[in-house]
Amino acid sequence: MTDRFRKKLLYLHYMNVLTNKQLLTWLRVDPGFEQPLSTPPAHIKLTPAQSLKLQKNLSAASYLEISAHLTHSNTSFITIFDSIYPDNLREIYDPPVILYMKGNVEYLRNEKMLAVVGSRKADQYTETMLNIILPDLLAEGICIISGLAKGADSIAHRLALKGQTIGVTGSGFQHVYPTSNQQLYKEMAAAQLLLSEYPPYIKPQKFHFPMRNRIIAGLSKGLLVTQAAVKSGTMITVDRALEEGRDIFSVPGSAVDPLSEGTNSLISQGAKLTVSAKDILNEWSI
């Protein structure tokens, strides 16, 4: 990948005009990225709003301004063509063309990644079980991935600060969501790794979070589910992980707790019942 190619790709991505699928289509039909940015390949059907926004943005900022903005915000980026881009993620359906990053990019070289997902309403039971399960996994060099949401995500990240943890956000880094995680964001940006497929200035939107979840599932070797309702965003992430052939580990819970309905259901469908680190380490022959 030439420097010119890389600059054009960042410039186009930073505008946030095309969808990720449209960018992938562009790169497939025009692998040399020779088409002028003002005139996407015919295979890409832009809406009138997209066309107007593209023309407006092409004259709004230069590549140097975008680069300076990233540098000023201490944000780096990688593309799908870079060697450090994880193979697991590259191979999923609709892999992100660009990932923006804060923190230790070397974590992306870790092939032992476990996603931890669960309810935003997760209670003391999740904290208790993750306190039992995670320390031995971290001691074996397993990197914990989650989505920096309230509840299970936040609990997992905080417990994993003693090892390696990656937070995948559903917004640009200038917009911490939820705001209650401001301090966690700062700690992870300083000593762990934050990832987003959204440029720093992009605010969180409802549809961003299912897109974020595909990255969480894509990066991971397996998915550990704590408390989750049967119908929830957590279970959507599980479905995506199953589509990508990831291992599913599930923490059992009380039969009368609605937040255990999802995890108990997964176990009945073949997920690995998980109450200690050994359940995961043995499955992975670690």
Q: pLDDT digit string (tens) for 101-140?
A: 999 999 999 999 999 999 999 999 999 999 999 999 999 9
Residue 46: CB atoms within 10 Å:
15
CB 133 within 8 A of CB 45: no
Percent of the chain that is helix, strand, coil (3-state, to 5): 45, 15, 40
Domain layout of the chain by residue ranges: 3-72, 105-283
pLDDT at residue 212 is higher than 90: yes
Give the DSSP letter string of 152-198: HHHHHHHHHTTSEEEEE-SS-TTS-SSGGGHHHHHHHHHHSEEEESS
pLDDT at 3: 87
CB 58 within 8 A of CB 66: no
Could you give the C-alpha distances from 83 to 105, 108, 178, in angstroms and in order?
Answer: 12, 10, 32
pLDDT at 143: 98
Query: 278 versus 61: which is more confidently predicted?
Result: 278
Rounded CA separation 221/250 (Å): 14
CB 148 within 8 A of CB 157: yes
CB 257 within 8 A of CB 151: no
pLDDT at residue 2 is higher than 90: no
The pLDDT tens digits for 139-158 are 999 999 999 999 999 999 99
Residue 107 per-residue DSSP state: G
Q: Considering only 63-67, 250-254, 277-281, which range has the smallest mean pLDDT? A: 63-67
Average pLDDT over the chain, rounded to an integer: 94
- Claim: this prediction has a pTM higher than 0.85: yes
Rounded CA separation 213/229 (Å): 17
The pLDDT tens digits for 66-86 are 989 899 889 999 999 999 999
pLDDT at 28: 94
Give the DSSP letter string of 191-231: HSEEEESS-TTPPP-TTHHHHHHHHHHHH-SEEEE-S--SS
Which two three-digit tokens encode residue 227?
């408390």
The pLDDT tens digits for 215-262 are 999 999 999 999 999 888 899 899 999 999 999 999 999 999 999 999
pLDDT at 57: 87
The pLDDT tens digits for 9-45 are 999 999 999 999 999 999 999 998 888 888 899 889 9
CB 107 within 8 A of CB 141: no
Rounded CA separation 51/46 (Å): 6
* Strand 76-79 to 98-103 pairing: antiparallel
Q: How confident is the model at residue 1 (pLDDT cuts 50, 70, 90)?
A: confident
- CATH top-level class of 105-283: alpha beta
CB 138 within 8 A of CB 162: yes
